[in-house]
Amino acid sequence: MTQTRLTPEILTALTRITMPRGFASLPPETVVQVNLCDLPVHSCQTLVIGSGAAGLRAACEAKRRGREVLVATGGMYMGTSACSGSDKQTLHTASTSRNGDNFEVLARDLAAGGCMDEDVAYVEAVGSIGAMAGLQYIGLDLPEDRLGAVLRYQTDHDEYGRATSCGPRTSRLMVKVLLEEAQRLGIPFMTGAAAVKILTKGEGEGRCVSGLVVANKSTEHNPYGLAVIACEDLIIATGGPGEMYRDSVYPKKCFGALGLALEAGLELSNLTESQFGIGTPRETFPWNLSGTYVQVMPYVFSRDAAGNEFNFLADYYRSTRELVSNVFRKGYQWPFHASRMLEFGSSLVDIAVHLEIRKGREVFLDFLRNPLPGKDGAHFNLDDLEPDVRAYLENNGALDALPIDRLVRMNPLAIELYRMNGIDITKEPLRLAVNNQHMNGGIEIDLWGRTNLSGCYAVGEAASTHGVTRPGGSALISGQVFATRVAKHIAHEARQRRAGAELGWEAPLAELIQELETVTNGCDGSALDGVKHDIQQRMSEAAGFVCAEADVTSALEDALALVDAFEAGAVALREAKRAGDYFMWKQLALSSAAVLQALNHYIKAGGGSRGARVILDDGSTGLPETVHGPLEAFRFRPEREKDKAKKIIVRQTADGIACCERPLKGRDRSPVYFERGWGEFLSDQIFQTEGGKG
């Protein structure tokens, strides 16, 4: 097979992506004084917090529908969409190469792991085609063949090959074209703005959003940088809580908004469900090691402090063939999955890496060496691979002698990506760990992206749109689908009255300022750096991909104690200008306690291992095997089928963080005839929910 030559210019264009600059700003309309503190007040109709792919799509779609939009963000080009990726970052869509797809089948596959509402799954399936087409329309250059079909490949939890990719930085390219569209539409941005508190008006069912308090680094009206944004609609698109874990592949300063949401009375769901998998450590260049990074079958080894090397995977798999084939399968079975620990599956790799690191060793991928023999003593041989592995390499013409040569042939972008971040895998091995990568749960929403607070919506990773498992890359398209639906619903609501500063904000604003004055002046409590260490250490040790009931219970007690410390004013703010950081860590303390509360609720009720978490249980039946026999330390509790049919709902009450359960929502499967459906569309009946509420 002739190798396609990718020039340095092509490689650079797909890895070193320059973002647009020079966005409009929105000056304050007025200044209000609270507790002798001046706060500037900005005003818009629709406020989006977060500048990732989902938030930007929501902003653009709302603007196109006539809304006055403002995007407030903690930092441009800093979130997971702009900074994250993998060897060829996946965009998962509904149609397969040169074949149609069945939306019913795709919806079933999206929800296959359980804990996902049927209506939401179908919304994602149907909406994925239009969402992708919209990205192509504004300039996202998805790869096509000579006949115009989008190129596809298979990814995790996907049997049909629905995945496509622009390269290792697909989501960054999505952000780029969406930012360019935002510029064309004249959408203003407020940068350096950390979301502090959601402001509301009304009571009971009439309670709704009226604004947002932010800590804005560019505001000089008060020492804390506090500002108010009055709005009619609020779209939360802040991504996931990446700072929650020590072992994390998220970019720095990804806090999410789960704590912000809880404080405002929003419900959360599926907080027990996250994704974990192998990647480079956060202190180097955090990146997922999926796809071709492992499909080229590099040598996986560990090294102790004395420099001794260990071919440790040979202690887990029965043969060289089995060992290297499962390393390969991590390419499309990348997330850890409890069931794949069994029968010498690919998730045994994650367990082995985890245990090596616990021994104090560092683990590496070496692309300059083929794997060493397994316990059967057989040397690595490209002609002695499992059929699926051999077929993949042969189809891609990647039967070269060394892993690095196979990587050059299949995906030279993967090499360039690390090189541009100071790591040359053509010369040195690549260190790895098992990292937290994505939260499948989040803010509970309905099929229009609405939360339980009127006027408040959530999209992207901030929203709970996924169940226990999801096909690789489906998160990107889900954010695009719901961003468009949220904009449609907001346009339907079409609130005409502009929000103003006369909405009874004085009490909550006075409380915020009093809290900051208390923790700034004379407080000798814990420092924020200590809070960061405690949260991240606790979550990675007790609530990572390996969980034990006693550890979760103990961690929950400590997490709740930290929440109480914040409430008591016992966490010090050393510098007034770091007010944004203070609130981010306060919210994350609450977020981590909520995750632990949900996990504790699930485990104590008998919940078992599922998705990317294994629940250890000495008395249960799940038991991984290794070449040396049973891995007793990882005896685990299997998942119960009945737990797939419900979601765990989390909310903050006067007594603390409470959990309850609700059954999954179904959907009406009766046929929709055009004439009847057209009438419902024209009369806006499609926006009504089961109870008839629009």
Distance CA 509, CA 213 (A): 8
Q: Where in the chain is the domain with CATH 3.90.700?
A: 277-434
pLDDT band at 473 (very low <50, low <70, confident <90, very high): confident
Q: Quote the DSSP letter at residue 143.
A: -
Please report the pLDDT score of residue 98 as a whole number.
60
pLDDT band at 1 (very low <50, low <70, confident <90, very high): very low
Query: Any idea which of 263-267, 406-410, 439-443, 678-682 has the lowest mean pLDDT?
Result: 678-682
Convert the pLDDT of each residue in 294-350 to its tens digit.
999 999 999 999 999 999 999 999 999 999 999 999 988 888 998 999 999 999 999
Categorise residue 442: left if φ over 0, alpha if ψ from -120 to 50, beta otherwise.
left
Contacts of 558 (CB under 8 A, 6+ apart): 534, 538
Angle at CA 344, nearest 5°, toward 343 and 345?
Answer: 90
- 302-307 own/partner pairs: CB under 8 Å, 24+ apart: 302/356, 302/359, 302/361, 302/362, 302/363, 302/364, 303/361, 303/362, 303/364, 304/359, 304/360, 304/361, 305/360
Residue 388: Cβ within 10 Å count? 12
pLDDT band at 220 (very low <50, low <70, confident <90, very high): confident
Percent of the chain surpassing pLDDT 90: 66
Distance CA 35, CA 612 (A): 48
Q: Where in the chain is the domain with CATH 1.20.58.100?
A: 520-663
Q: Higher pLDDT residue, 72 or 19? A: 72
Q: Where in the chain is the domain with CATH 3.50.50.60?
A: 26-273+440-493
The answer to whether the beta carbons of residues 403 and 246 sit under 8 Å apart is no
pTM: 0.94
pLDDT band at 35 (very low <50, low <70, confident <90, very high): confident
Residue in the block written with tokens 């009945």: 642
Query: Any idea which of 203-207, 320-324, 627-631 has the lowest mean pLDDT?
Result: 203-207
Q: What is the mean pLDDT of residues 374-401?
A: 93
The answer to whether the beta carbons of residues 462 and 236 sit under 8 Å apart is yes
User: Would you state the structure tokens that stand for residue 662, as one six-digit string?
Assistant: 């609700």
Distance CA 110, CA 130 (A): 17
Q: Is a pLDDT exceeding 50 seen at residue 691?
A: no
HEC string of 241-288? CHHHCCCECCCCCCCCCHHHHHHCCCCEECCCCEEEEEEECCCCCCEE
Please report the pLDDT score of residue 562 as a whole number.
96
Query: Any idea which of 81-90, 228-237, 544-553, 570-579 has the lowest mean pLDDT?
Result: 81-90
Distance CA 262, CA 654 (A): 12
HEC string of 402-442? CHHHHHHHHCHHHHHHHHCCCCCCCCCCEEEEEEEEEECCE
Q: Is a pLDDT exceeding 90 seen at residue 565?
A: yes
Percent of the chain surpassing pLDDT 70: 95
Please report the pLDDT score of residue 97 as a whole number.
61
pLDDT band at 581 (very low <50, low <70, confident <90, very high): very high
Please report the pLDDT score of residue 94 as a whole number.
74
Q: Is a pLDDT exceeding 60 seen at residue 38?
A: yes
Going through 1-62 in order, the beta strands assigned E by DSSP cover: 30-34, 37-43, 46-49
Please report the pLDDT score of residue 499 as a whole number.
47
Convert the pLDDT of each residue in 396-432 to its tens digit.
899 999 999 999 999 888 898 898 889 999 999 999 9
User: Would you state the structure tokens that stand for residue 434, as one six-digit string?
Assistant: 């098992």
Please report the pLDDT score of residue 694 as a whole number.
53
Q: Is a pLDDT exceeding 70 seen at residue 5?
A: no
Q: For residue 103, which of 126, 124, 133 has the smallest C-alpha distance?
A: 126
Q: What is the mean pLDDT of residues 136-162?
A: 85
Please report the pLDDT score of residue 505 as a whole number.
87
Q: Is a pLDDT exceeding 90 seen at residue 284?
A: no
SS3 451: coil
Q: What is the CATH number of domain 277-434?
A: 3.90.700
Convert the pLDDT of each residue in 496-507 to its tens digit.
444 444 567 889
Contacts of 256 (CB under 8 A, 6+ apart): 238, 239, 240, 241, 242, 244, 439, 442, 461, 462, 588, 591
- The CATH-assigned architecture of domain 520-663 is Up-down Bundle (1.20)
Q: Name which CATH class applies to 26-273+440-493.
A: alpha beta
Convert the pLDDT of each residue in 92-137 to its tens digit.
887 766 666 788 888 888 898 999 999 999 999 999 999 999 999 9
Q: What is the mean pLDDT of residues 593-620?
A: 96
Q: What is the DSSP string of 618-679?
A: TTSSB--EETTEE-GGG-BPBPPGGGGGEEEEEEEETTEEEEEEEEPP----S---HHHHHH
Going through 167-250 in order, the beta strands assigned E by DSSP cover: 189-190, 193-201, 208-216, 226-230, 233-236
Q: What is the mean pLDDT of residues 146-173?
A: 83
Amino acid identity, position 685: Q
- Residues 470, 473, 477, 483: what is their CA dihedral angle, to the nearest 10 degrees? 80
Q: Indicate the average pLDDT of the chain.
A: 90
Q: Output the CA–CA distances (angstroms, integers) from residue 1 to 8, 293, 338, 396, 409, in the order listed.
A: 21, 21, 38, 8, 10
The answer to whether the beta carbons of residues 579 and 221 sit under 8 Å apart is no
Q: Is a pLDDT exceeding 80 seen at residue 522?
A: no
Please report the pLDDT score of residue 587 as a whole number.
97
